[in-house]
Chains A and B, each alone.
Chain A
Amino acid sequence: MNRAVEVLAPGPMTLLQDLGRFGHLAVGVGRAGAADAGSYLLGNRLLGNASGAAALEVTMGNLRLRASGDLLVCLTGAAAPASVDGRPVPRAALVEVRHGQELSLGMPVAGLRTYVAVRGGFSVPEVLGSVSSDTMSGLGPEPVRAGQVLPVGDRTEGFPVVDVAGVAEPSTGTVTLDVLPGPRLDWFADPERLAQTPWSVSSRSDRKGIRLEGEPLERHAELRDAELPSEGMVRGAIQVPPNGQPVVFLNDHPVTGGYPVIGVLRSASVDRAAQLQPGQEVRLRWNL
Chain B
Amino acid sequence: MTPAPDSVDAVDAVDVPDAVDAADAAATGSVSVRFLPMGEAAWLVETDDIESVLALEAALAPLLRSGEGVWADVDDLVPAARTLLVVARRTTNLADLANGIRAAAGRATRGAPSGTTTVTEIPVHYDGPDLDDVAAHTGLTRAEVVAAHTGTPWRVGFGGFAPGFAYLVGGDPRLVVPRRTEPRTRVPVGAVALAGEFSGIYPRESPGGWQLLGTTDAVLWDVDREPPALLVPGTTVRFTEVTS
On A, residues with C-beta under 8 Å from B are: 22-29, 127-128, 137, 139, 180-186, 188, 191-192, 195, 220, 229-234, 236-237, 254-256, 261, 263-267, 286, 288
Contacts and interface: CB of A to CB of B under 8 A. Distances in A.
28 contacts: A25-B77, A25-B85, A26-B79, A27-B159, A28-B159, A28-B165, A29-B228, A180-B11, A181-B7, A181-B10, A185-B3, A188-B5, A191-B3, A230-B80, A230-B160, A232-B84, A234-B38, A234-B42, A236-B39, A237-B39, A256-B80, A256-B160, A264-B40, A265-B39, A266-B39, A267-B39, A288-B3, A288-B10
B76 A231 contact: no
B37 A232 contact: no
B195 interface: no
Given A232-B83, A234-B87, A256-B78, A264 B37 contact: yes
Contacts, number: 145
B36 A183 contact: yes
A24 B78 CA distance: 9
B229 interface: yes
Nearest to A137: B163
Contacts of B83: 229, 231-232
Interface residues of B, number: 47
A255 B78 contact: yes
Contact of A286 (B1, B81, B232, B233): B1
Nearest to B11: A181
Contacts of B8: 181, 183, 185-186
B243 interface: no
B38 A183 contact: yes
Contacts of A286: 1-3
A264 B43 CA distance: 12
B39 A137 contact: no
Nearest to B36: A183
Most buried by B among A22, A231, A236, A256: A231
Nearest to B7: A181
Contact of A229 (B81, B163, B165): B81
Given A229-B83, A231-B80, 10 more contacts: A24-B76, A27-B164, A28-B162, A188-B5, A191-B7, A230-B160, A231-B44, A232-B85, A234-B87, A237-B38
B27 to A, nearest CB: 28
Interface in B126-161: 158-161
A195 B3 CA distance: 10
Contact of B229 (A22, A27, A184): A27
